Structure 1
Amino acid sequence: MSMIIIKTREEIELMRESALVVSKTLGEVAKAIKPGVSTLELDKIAEECIRDQGAIPGFLGLYDFPNTLCMSPNSQVVHGIPNSTPLEEGDIISVDCGAIKNGFYGDHAYTFAVGEIDAEIEKLLQVTKDSLYIGIAELKKGNRVGDVGFAIQKYCEDYGYGVVRELVGHGIGRKMHEDPEMPNYGKRGRGKKLVDGMVVAIEPMINLGTQRIKQHRDGWTITTLDGKPSAHFEHDVAIVDGKPELLSTFAYIYEALGITSNEEDAFRQVPLAL
């Protein structure tokens, strides 16, 4: 039987530190993403950044994964393995990063544009990111897991996008993957009840075309079945005083890219000091 591990306020603050290690690392990666750079080069930047913060890479060796980052360009949905192929103008690249600090995991992701991208793909990225916050808004005491998934699914499917079913968000804590699973689809009022002290990773994985995916022979890489692009955004979120509280942030990414945004303000009870 599955069991949700409730976190104390003190543990949630330690988890915020772990999440912010990842946030800062994604900010460093953001500075380096451009045409001509390889995902392996970005992976090295990330590992160094995590270790410099007194943490250890959360993905490296987890389930025998060989690298620090999951790097998934274009039609790759998630779990892409960094390699020496250079990124090209017009690519998108999903960067998923994990770190362990204070015995707790942080884990979140962002999909970047490499140079100028097609307007159609830019819209996919924006809608996917918006759906993340729409899902987070439903992560409140008394709601159920299905309320979060339903909100994400409806928003994305209204744009005609495919919502991946086989891959889901998850609880997080001393283990990378804890209960409950957090699907990006569902029915209102169904699933586990949400309570204070839950900490989860919410991560919409949304495809421009079909929701269907395939796994490759390397045992890791997942791509869309139709070869169309896929986007992935992820935050670590706790339920504090009945409301969602963001532990991770895209602020370091936005600082690197020169983006101004107030999208996180509604979900941050504790001011973020950059």
Structure 2
Amino acid sequence: MTEIKSPEQLAGMRAAGLVVAEIHEVMRAAIVPGATPRDLDAIARRELAARGATSNFLGYGGFPATVCVSVNDVVVHGIPDATPFADGDIVSLDFGAVLDGWHGDAAVTVPVGAGEPPDEVARLLVDCEDALWSGIAAMRAGRRVRDIGTAIERTIEARGDYGIVEEYGGHGIGTAMHMDPHVMNYRTRQRGPKLVPGLCLAVEPMITLGGPETHVLDDEWTVKTDDGSWAAHFEHSIAVTPDGPWVLTALDGGAARLEALGVPAAAAQRG
């Protein structure tokens, strides 16, 4: 069942999304050479408690941590361990929170160290994030879920020869972290549900520098690329509104990025 929120319920979703956005900022600042994924997990636990929120990752399907930390060729669902980050690594943070029963979920991939990453890695991160925002820009009332994946794929194909991971995608979000509908990161023949005001989706493209094939490690969580190529993952939780997309897990509601794309942003009215 697809969950449609009232304006009052969207306010609760925004509050949960801001918790996610704020804690992402704290974790990103801690990604330095010598820090470990477990350090980030400890930060996430501390910051959730300080905000009166809880983790929607911890215990989900048996997941043992509050944040997924995926390094280099790990695409998603990396379990935090004690392996130090090295200068030049890339780290994906996938993190969510529950506040007053409402869920937020977002992901970002960042380079480790003060130096510039190699050109192909820098482009991978920029192009994956741009693809996310292309998908968000397509989230206008009256369109279809398929339009999101089509926009994502077009951006990725225009930028380079990347692998688009197909086994994992976005999802509805609200009173649960994963809800209908499923949101694919590529064009499909199925139109999917209509985008209506009050629908909230988590959109999350994942692309690689090589092929799209992946496998799951023996821990039953960690997803790696088959060819060892590095991967990027970006995600936001977004509400469809009559005024345009409202990016619940962006501090500015998505206003800056959407306005740069020439798309009306609900954040201009909602904050």
Provide the TM-score with structure 1 as the length reference. Answer: 0.91
After TM superposition, the structure 1 = structure 2 runs for residues 194-205 of structure 1, keeping only pairs within 5 Å, are 194-205=195-206
- Tell me, what secondary structure is at the counterpart of 1:237? strand
Equivalent-residue separation in structure 2 for 1:14 and 1:109 (angstroms): 20
Residue identity opposite 2:144 in structure 1: R
Whether the 8 Å CA contact 1:195–1:242 is kept in 2: the answer is: no
Q: Does 1:153 align with 2:153?
A: yes
Q: Aligned pair in 2 of structure 1 residues 113, 69: CA closer, same or farther (>3 Å)? A: same
For 1:23 and 1:153, locate their aligned partners in 2 and report how far apart those are by CA, in whole Å: 25
Aligned-partner SS, 2:232: strand
Identity fraction in percent? 42
Q: In structure 2, how many angstroms separate the alpha carbons of the residues matched to 1:243 and 1:37?
A: 39
Which of these residues, 11, 14, 29, is aligned with residue 12 of structure 2? 14
Residues 165-210 of structure 1, C-alpha deviations (whole Å, 9 max, x = no match) = 1001000011110110011012477222111110000011111111
Find 2:101's aligned residue among 80, 100, 103.
Answer: 103
In the alignment of these two chains, the number of paired residues is 262
Match of 1:258 in 2: none
Work out whether 1:168 is the aligned partner of 2:169.
Answer: yes
Is the 1:144–1:188 contact (alpha carbons within 8 Å) kept by the matching residues of 2? no
Q: Is the 8 A contact 1:67 1:82 kept in 2?
A: yes
Q: What letter matches 2:70 in structure 1?
A: S
Aligned counterparts of 2:142 and 2:162: Cα–Cα separation in 1: 29
How far apart are 1:213 and its partner, in Å? 0.9
Matches of residues 187-266 of structure 1 in structure 2 within 5 Å?
A: 187=188, 190-241=191-242, 243-249=244-250, 262-265=256-259
3-state SS, counterpart of residue 239 of structure 1: strand
- 1:262 deviates by 3.1
Distance (Å, rounded) in 2 between the aligned partners of 1:13 and 1:271: 9
Contiguous gaps of at least 5 residues in structure 1: 252-260
Displacement after TM superposition at 1:264 (Å): 4.8
Partner of 1:269: 268
2:165–2:206 CA contact under 8 A, matched in 1: yes
Q: Which residue of 2 aligns with 1:50?
A: 48
Root-mean-square deviation (CA, aligned residues, Å) is 1.7
Q: Mean Cα displacement is larger for which, 78-87 or 211-220?
A: 211-220
Partner residue in 2 for 1:74: 72
Partner of 1:141, secondary structure, is: coil
Is residue 55–residue 96 contact of structure 2 (8 Å, CA) maintained in 1?
yes
Supply the AA of the counterpart residue of 2:89. Answer: D
Change in Cα spacing, 1:127 to 1:63, as seen in structure 2 (3 Å) is same
Q: Given residue 127 of structure 1, which amino acid in structure 2 is its aligned partner?
A: D
Partner of 1:156, secondary structure, is helix
| 1:67-101 deviation per Cα after TM superposition (whole angstroms, max 9, x unaligned) | 00000000000000000000000000000101100
Output the CA distance in 2 between the equivalents of 1:105 and 1:270: 22
CA contact (8 A) 1:147 1:189 kept: no
| Structure 2 residue 128 is matched with structure 1 residue 125 | no
Q: Normalised by the size of structure 2, how large is the TM-score? A: 0.92
